[in-house]
Amino acid sequence: MSKIELKKNIFWVGAIDWNVRNFHGYTYSTKRGTTYNAYLVLDDKIALVDTVMASFAEDLIKNIEAITDPLKIDYVIVNHVEDDHTGALPKILDIAKNAQVVCTKKCQEGLFRHYYKNWNFKIVKTGDSIFLGNKTLNFIETPMIHWPDSMFTYIPEDNLLLSNDAFGQHIASSERFDDEIDGCVLMEESEKYYANILIPLSFIISAKLSEIIKSGIKVDMIAPSHGIIWRNNPAQIIKAYSGWSSGLPLKKDILIVYETMWGATAKMASAMSAAIVDEGLKVKIYDINLGDHTEIIKDILNAKCLLIGSSTHDNHMLPNIAGFLGLIKGLKLKGRKAAAFGSYGWSGESAGHIEKLLAESGLKIINAPLTVKYVPSSQDIESCKDFGRRIAKEIISEE
The correct pick among 7, 32, 135, 146 for binding ligand FEO (CB under 6 A) is 146
Catalytic residue among 17, 28, 43, 80: 80
165 binds ligand FEO (CB under 6 A): yes
Q: Which of 32, 80, 337, 385 binds ligand FEO (CB under 6 A)?
A: 80
Considering only CA atoms, which of 306, 368, 308, 299 is closest in space to residue 337? 306
Instruction: State how far the alpha carbon of 213 is from the alpha carbons of 8, 164, 372, in Å.
Output: 25, 18, 53
Distance of CA 367 to the CA centre of its chain: 31
Q: Which span (46-54, 77-85, 114-122, 378-386) binds ligand FEO, by CB under 6 A?
A: 77-85
Catalytic residue check, 24: yes
From candidates 17, 82, 191, 253, binder to ligand FEO by CB under 6 A: 82
Known catalytic membership, residue 313 = no
H/E run at residue 123: strand 121-123
Q: How many residues are recorded in the chain?
A: 399
Interface with ligand FEO by CB under 6 A: which range of 3-11, 79-87, 132-140, 282-290? 79-87
Query: To the nearest whole angstrom, how small is the minimum distance from the Cβ of residue 165 to ligand FEO?
Result: 4
Beta carbon nearer to ligand FEO, 80 or 106 = 80
CA-to-CA separations, 184 to 177, 253, 255, in angstroms, rounded? 14, 19, 21
- Residues 226-255, one symbol each (x = binds ligand FEO by CB under 6 A, - = not), give x-----------------------------
Q: Which of 84, 189, 355, 380 binds ligand FEO (CB under 6 A)?
A: 84
DSSP 8-class letter at 195: I
* Best CA proximity match to 248, nearest among 309, 202, 281, 307: 202
7 binds ligand FEO (CB under 6 A): no
Looking at the DSSP bridge assignments, the partners of residue 230 are 222
399 is catalytic: no
Closest to ligand FEO by CB, 225 or 371: 225
- 193 assigned to active site: yes
114 given a catalytic annotation = no
| Spatial contact of 49 and 132, defined as CB atoms under 8 Å apart | no
Residue 94: partners with Cβ closer than 8 Å, 6 or more residues away? none
Cα angle: 300, vertex 305, 307; to 5 degrees:
95
Q: Is 176 in the site for ligand FEO (CB under 6 A)?
A: no
The residues annotated as belonging to the active site are: 24, 80, 82, 84, 146, 165, 193, 226
Residues near ligand FEO, by CB under 6 A: 80, 82, 84-85, 146-147, 165, 225-226
